[in-house]
Amino acid sequence: MSEAETIADIGAGPSKVGGPRENRARFIEALLGLVAWGLLYSQLDAFAAWFTHDFLRLTEGGHMAGAVEFFVADAPKVLMLLVLITFIVGITRTFLTPERIREILAGRNELAGNVLAAILGVPTPFCSCSAIPLFLGFLQSGIPLGVAMSFLITCPVVNEVALAMLYGIYGWKIAGLYAALGMAKGVLSGLLIARMRPERFLEPWVADLVRPAHGTQSEEADNSLRMNWTARIDSAIVSVRETLAGVWHYLVAGIALGAAIYGYIPVEFVGQYMGKQAWWNVPVAVVLGLPLYASAAGVFPIFQALLSKGAALGTSMAFMMSVIGISIPELVMLRKVIKPPLIWTFVGFVALGIVIVGYVFNLLI
């Protein structure tokens, strides 16, 4: 978040921002924190094994041992990854403010704009209500509707939290494929939508607003340049705190559901309905997942549990992406600026894209 320094800046001039010495100390503190994080994280598996088998003396391979190990190993892992990711994303966001993203996207030609929009969509946090002002801001500065749609589609589907958790638990190949396919989907959808002359589906007041005469410049576009490391780290810590406060109930529910699936749903059942051989399960997973909404942190434990029970990777991935990708409140908000045909096109592209991603995963891995 970029605004802390605006306040500091008009608050009391440069003295308020903190000198270079304070900056360095804060930076070192953050580095030490990262090292401590790494040490703790590397010991989690060993700790879980010790806790389950030596401390609680549960028999290896038993239902209970499995569920307990899931809890004491994966829950803290997911939580720690979440803290690290939101911190890193928090720092990134002090550089990539919405104003900066708009600046980067404005004036690009079509393809480059779509690709950049898809890339920038990854680390951008996206709550359904922040979407509209950002979307309008993009259009106002002359960013083509197709490019704005690329951003809008990639932003929730390739989620930085899901990405980092996939990387942390399943490795870079799966995480990389997820990101690449998700972005490709955003780019292609945006390009195709642009072919539909989508401008006619803007609500009239939006069309008025984006006519050049109304173009507004936001005066704080260069904020990020003035921010120092103390401010960046502080703002990242605030975003970690806010994210945890916002998602912990999803996380707990997700982990509990995951553990229940892990402990009590038989492998044969999951394998039969969610395995690779059932070709129809990818679209079904998407249809089930689209109307549901949970944050990535909440779906991830469920995803993990399904996978460990023999569900196909593509099917589980499709379910996860469709749960985090679209939410009903977001569509209701979008309806205020664009007309139903474009909304349905948007939903259609998101759904179709996820189905394709699911099949590709099932084919490749």
Q: Which parts of this chain interact with other proteins (CB under 8 A)?
A: 1-4, 6-7, 10-12, 16, 97-99, 102, 127-130, 132-134, 136-137, 140, 205-206, 209, 214, 216-220, 238, 242, 333, 336-337
- The Cα–Cα gap between 190 and 216 comes to 25
| Residue 27 C-alpha from the chain's centroid | 26
Nearer to other proteins, 126 or 300 (CB): 126
Question: Please, what is the minimum distance in Å from the beta carbon of residue 97 to other proteins?
Answer: 8
Question: Please, what is the minimum distance in Å from the beta carbon of residue 10 to other proteins?
Answer: 5
Question: Please, what is the minimum distance in Å from the beta carbon of residue 318 to other proteins?
Answer: 28
Q: Residue 20: exposed, middle, or buried by beta-carbon count in 10 A (0-12, 13-18, 19+)?
A: exposed
Nearer to other proteins, 11 or 107 (CB): 11
Assess contact for 118 and 151: CB atoms under 8 A: yes
- The Cα–Cα gap between 85 and 161 comes to 6
Assess contact for 101 and 125: CB atoms under 8 A: no
Nearer to other proteins, 7 or 260 (CB): 7
Nearer to other proteins, 237 or 257 (CB): 237
Nearer to other proteins, 95 or 205 (CB): 205
Question: Please, what is the minimum distance in Å from the beta carbon of residue 99 to other proteins?
Answer: 6
Nearer to other proteins, 53 or 339 (CB): 339
Question: Please, what is the minimum distance in Å from the beta carbon of residue 130 to other proteins?
Answer: 5
Question: Please, what is the minimum distance in Å from the beta carbon of residue 79 to other proteins?
Answer: 23
Question: Please, what is the minimum distance in Å from the beta carbon of residue 211 to other proteins?
Answer: 12
Nearer to other proteins, 72 or 139 (CB): 139
Assess contact for 286 and 320: CB atoms under 8 A: no
- The Cα–Cα gap between 94 and 123 comes to 11
Question: Please, what is the minimum distance in Å from the beta carbon of residue 115 to other proteins?
Answer: 21
91 vs 232, 233, 237, CA distance in Å? 6, 6, 9
Nearer to other proteins, 46 or 129 (CB): 129
Nearer to other proteins, 120 or 354 (CB): 120
Locate 294 and state its tokens: 């949970």
Assess contact for 338 and 202: CB atoms under 8 A: yes
Question: Please, what is the minimum distance in Å from the beta carbon of residue 264 to other proteins?
Answer: 36
Question: Please, what is the minimum distance in Å from the beta carbon of residue 14 to other proteins?
Answer: 13
Nearer to other proteins, 97 or 315 (CB): 97
